[in-house]
Structure 1
Amino acid sequence: MSRQDHGWTTAWATAPQRPGAGFAPNWSAEGFAGHTIRQTVRLSVGADTLRVRLSNRYGTGPLRVAGLTIAAAAGGVIKPDTLQELTAGGKPAFTVPAGADLATDAAQFPVDALESVTVSLYLAEPSGPATYHAQALATTYRAAGDHRADADDTAFTEASQSFYYLGGIEVAAAPGGEADGIVVLGDSLIDGTGSSPDTDQRFPDLLAHRFATVGRPRPVLNLGIGGNRVTVDSAWLGDRATARFQHDVLAQPGVGTVVILAGINDLAISEIAQTSPFPVLAPYIEVSAAQVIAGHREMIQRARGAGLRVVGATLLPMRGSAFSTPRSEAKRDAVNTWIRESGEYDAVVDLALALGDALDPAHDSGDGLHLNDTGYRAMADAVELAAL
C-alpha cells in the first residue's frame, strides 16, 4: 500500500503493534485457531466501494484467512441484508505474508460518512502471535468456529478491547479528487485513553465529526498508540514515531495532511521510573527536548518529501499528573516554544494554549494527563479547520 495507490482513500485506520501484554488482557500473544473475530469501526467518509486492509506486519509466519465478511453495524449485531463476503485475488480464502499488509478485492458496499461497519474474520488454522492494536476503545468479539455470517452475537462469548489484524478500510476515491485525508500521529492522547469505549469520542473521531457537520466529510485517521514515543522503541508501546512514520503515515492512500502530537512520553516516562516503575512503559530512557525536536524535524522533512502538509500540535498540559516534574515541565515548555516559534511546521494547532496550564477538572479523566469525552471534544473544538 502507498499514497501512490491511486483510486483509494483510507477512511479508517489504526496503528499495528507487536504482540504483547499491553495495558490490559488481550489475545495477541496466544493468537487464534478455529476462531471468528468480529470488529466494528466507524468510517470518517462514505463511498459506494470499499476494501479491507489486513496487517500481518509483526507476524512470524503467513496468516491464512479462511474467510472474511463485512456488514453494516447495528449495535452489537449486524444488518443481515448488508452482509457480504470479501475476497482477495478472487478467492474467499487467502494468505497474508509475514511482515506484510494485504488489501482485499474491491466490494460494492454503499456506506455513509460516520457510519459503522463490522468485519468478521475467520481463522481456521493456528495464526501464531497476532499483529494487533492494544488500545482499541472498542469491543472486539471472539467465537469458536466459523460465525462470519451470524446476524446475532450469541456465539461471540468472549470480548477484548484490542483490534486484531485489522489495519485499515479504504474507499474508492472520486476521480480527479484531491488527496484530502488527515493522519493524526501520536500517543495515548490520540489513541483516546480516558474516553468512553464504543462511543467514538477520541480526538480524531470528533475532528471527523466536525468536518462532516460543516458539510465536508474528510478522512481523519487515528494513528495514535498509547505510550508511544518519538525517539524510543518499545515492545509493548510500539515502534518509535520516526520508525513507523513510513508505514503509518506515508503509506496511507489519499492522505494530504499529517498532524503530529507526540513527545510527552519521551520527556516524562523516565521521570516516573524514579517513583513507580511500570514494566509496560520500559525502557526508561532519558530523552532531552532537543532529541524530541530533532525527531519532529525528521518527520517534517519526510512528510514534505512525500508532498504532505505538516501541522504541529503543542504538547498538552500534564501538571498534577505523575508525569509532571520540574524537569519534564521545562522540557515540555522548550518543545512547545519550538513548535510555536520555529516556523518549521506549515501550521500550528496550539492545543496547550487552548487547554490551559493544567487540565480543567471538567476535561480530566482523573489522572491529570488524559482527557475524558468532554475534554476530547474541547480539544477537537480548539482546532481551526482551515489550518488543516
Structure 2
Amino acid sequence: MRRSGVALVAAGALVALPTLLPPPAGAGAAYAAGRTGGAGHVGAAQGREQWRGGWAAAPQPATDVYGKNWSGSGFARQTVRQVVRVSAGGSRARITLSNRYGTAPLRIAGATVGLTDKGAAVRHGSVRQLTFGHRQSATIPTGGELRSDGVGLPVRPLAALTITLYFDAPTGPTTFHGKAMATSYRAAGDHRADVGAAAFTETSSSWYVLSGVEVAGGGPVRRDGIVAFGDSITDGYGSTVDANHRYPDVLAERLAAAGRPRSVLDEGISGNQLTHTTPGFGEKAVARFPKDVLNVPNVRTVVLLEGINDIGMSEVSGQPGEPTPEVSARQLIAAQRELIRQAHRRGIRVIGATLTPFKGAAYYTERGELKREALNGWIRGSGAFDGVVDLDRVVSDPADRHRIAAGYDSGDHLHPNDAGYRAMAGAIDLDAL
C-alpha cells in the first residue's frame, strides 16, 4: 500500500522530488530547455532563479476534429493573442512555446506578455517584450520546444496574463491545444505591443504554439506542484468559455482561498485515450505522460483521470478519428499501472480518480459500463495509488449510479457542467494536499 495514511474517496496526497529531463535528441540551441524545469536554458542569471509552473496546456498535432480552427493553415504576417490564468504568482514570468508536432522549424518573430484587461486588451503599462536567449526572434526546431528568458512582471495567483506572438513568415501547420474553453485572438500584421484590442478582429477557441507559463520570485519555491492529467473532463469540456471553471481551475482557487496558492496545471486533452493514439485527440497517455507531466518543474503529485474514451470509442463505431481497437478493463488497468510506475520512478505520487458516469452518452453501452465499473473497482481497492478521489460517487445520480446527476450534467450525459466541475474539485481534501 502506498497511500501513506491518505483517506480514500475524497482525498489526495502530494509529495515528490522531480528529476529533470534532458532536451529531446537532436534539439539545437534554440531549444532553450523546453520544459525541463530550469536545466539548460539561456542566461546564467536565470539559472539561479527558481521557477514553478503557472499555467500549461498539453500540445497536440494540428487537426480540425474539434471544428474549424487555425492550426492547419498556420500563420503568416499575423499576430496571435492568447489569455491564460496562472495558478501561482511571482515577480517574474516566462513562457514555453511548442513545435512538438510541427513538420518544419517554426520562427517566432517576437512575443510580449502583459496583464489582461478585457478581451484582447492589455492593461496600460504592463506590456513586456519577451526575448529568447536575449534576442527578440527565435526559431524552434522541428519537434522541439522553446522557453523565453524571464521578464520582470508582478503576477498574483489567479491573475490573467495575455501572451502575444507575432509570426512574420508562413508557419505551416502548428502545434496547438484544441479545446481551450477560452478565446484567442488574431490580427493581420504586427500588433504584439498593442494595448488595445481593435486590431484583433478574429477569434478562435483553441490555443496555438503556447504550451506553458512559469513564474519565479515571491518567496521560496516548494516542490508542491499538482498536475491534473486526463481527457476532456480534465480539459474542462462543457464548462463556461472564458470563465476558468475547469476542475483544476477550481482546485487552484480553493488552494489560494485557503492561503496555500501553488501550481495546479491542466494537462488534459479532449478525446485523449490511455491506450491508443488518434490523429485528432493526441498521443496515448502512456506516451505523452513523460512530456506533459514528468518534464514539468517542481511537480509533487499528478491526479490521473483517464480511460472513458478508450471504453466508449472502442464500443461504438462512428466516433471521430481512426476506429479504436477494442480495449479490456485489464488493458486499462495495465496502462494506469504503467503511468504509476513512470511517476514513482521520478518520486512523483499519483492520485487515482475514478471514472465519472456516462449512461446516456453517445458512446454508452452496457458492456462499456461493465468495463468502467471494473476499472473503478480496481482504482478504489488495488492499493496501487498513493491516494484515491472517488469522482464517480461525487457526481453520480444517487438514484442511478450509472448516470451523472442532472444538476452536474452539461447536457451530453458525459461531461460535467460548471457545478459538476466545482463538486469534483471540492472532493479533494486540501488538508491532505
Letter in 1 for 2:109: A
Gaps of 5+ in 1: none
Taking a change above 3 Å as real, the CA distance of residues 62 and 132 of structure 1, as seen in their structure-2 partners, is same
The worse-fitting range, judged by mean Cα deviation, of 176-185 and 60-69 is 176-185
Name the TM-score, length of structure 1 as normaliser.
0.97
Q: Match of 1:306?
A: 346
Q: Match of 1:154?
A: 198
SS in 1 for 2:311: helix
Q: Match of 2:108?
A: 65
2:402 is the alignment partner of 1:368: no
Shift of 1:175: 6.9
Whether the aligned pair in 2 keeps the contact of 1:46 and 1:113 (CA below 8 Å) is yes
**How many residue pairs get matched?**
384
Shift of 1:4: 6.4
2:276 is the alignment partner of 1:232: yes
SS in 2 for 1:185: strand
Q: Match of 1:297?
A: 337
CA distance in 1, matches of 2:72, 2:133: 29
Whether the aligned pair in 1 keeps the contact of 2:112 and 2:129 (CA below 8 Å) is yes
Q: Match of 1:381?
A: 426
Letter in 2 for 1:42: R
Matches for 1:107-122 after TM superposition, within 5 Å: 107-122=151-166
Whether the aligned pair in 1 keeps the contact of 2:91 and 2:218 (CA below 8 Å) is no
Whether the aligned pair in 1 keeps the contact of 2:89 and 2:218 (CA below 8 Å) is no
SS in 2 for 1:285: coil
Matches for 1:278-297 after TM superposition, within 5 Å: 278=319, 280-297=320-337
**Which digits, 9 at most, give the CA deviation of each residue in 1:227-280, with x for residues without a partner?**
10000001110000000001100001111111100001111112221xxx13x2
Q: Match of 1:219?
A: 263
Name the TM-score, length of structure 2 as normaliser.
0.87
Whether the aligned pair in 2 keeps the contact of 1:54 and 1:168 (CA below 8 Å) is yes
Taking a change above 3 Å as real, the CA distance of residues 177 and 120 of structure 1, as seen in their structure-2 partners, is closer
Matches for 1:1-388 after TM superposition, within 5 Å: 1-3=35-37, 5=39, 7-76=50-119, 77-172=121-216, 177-273=221-317, 277-278=318-319, 280-356=320-396, 357=401, 358-388=403-433
Shift of 1:2: 2.0
Whether the aligned pair in 2 keeps the contact of 1:185 and 1:260 (CA below 8 Å) is yes
SS in 1 for 2:431: helix
SS in 2 for 1:22: coil
Counting aligned pairs with the same residue, the percent is 48
Shift of 1:283: 2.5
Shift of 1:361: 1.1
CA distance in 2, matches of 1:304, 1:327: 32
CA distance in 2, matches of 1:238, 1:91: 32
**Which digits, 9 at most, give the CA deviation of each residue in 1:322-357, with x for residues without a partner?**
232111010000000000000000000111111121
Shift of 1:150: 1.2
Shift of 1:182: 0.4
CA distance in 2, matches of 1:354, 1:97: 44
Letter in 1 for 2:265: L
Gaps of 5+ in 2: 1-34, 40-46
Whether the aligned pair in 2 keeps the contact of 1:183 and 1:259 (CA below 8 Å) is yes
SS in 1 for 2:154: strand
Taking a change above 3 Å as real, the CA distance of residues 387 and 312 of structure 1, as seen in their structure-2 partners, is farther
Which aligned segments of 4 or more residues in structure 1 are displaced greater than 3 angstroms? Answer: 3-6, 173-177
The worse-fitting range, judged by mean Cα deviation, of 16-25 and 224-233 is 16-25
SS in 2 for 1:259: strand
Taking a change above 3 Å as real, the CA distance of residues 220 and 337 of structure 1, as seen in their structure-2 partners, is same
CA RMSD of aligned residues (A): 1.3
Whether the aligned pair in 2 keeps the contact of 1:17 and 1:134 (CA below 8 Å) is yes
SS in 2 for 1:184: strand
CA distance in 2, matches of 1:199, 1:282: 32
Letter in 2 for 1:329: E
CA distance in 2, matches of 1:157, 1:228: 31
Whether the aligned pair in 2 keeps the contact of 1:269 and 1:281 (CA below 8 Å) is no
Whether the aligned pair in 2 keeps the contact of 1:3 and 1:250 (CA below 8 Å) is no
Whether the aligned pair in 2 keeps the contact of 1:348 and 1:387 (CA below 8 Å) is no
CA distance in 2, matches of 1:310, 1:301: 10
SS in 2 for 1:168: strand
Letter in 2 for 1:313: A
Of the two structures, which has the highest relative contact order with CA contacts closer than 8 Å and spacing of 6 or more?
2
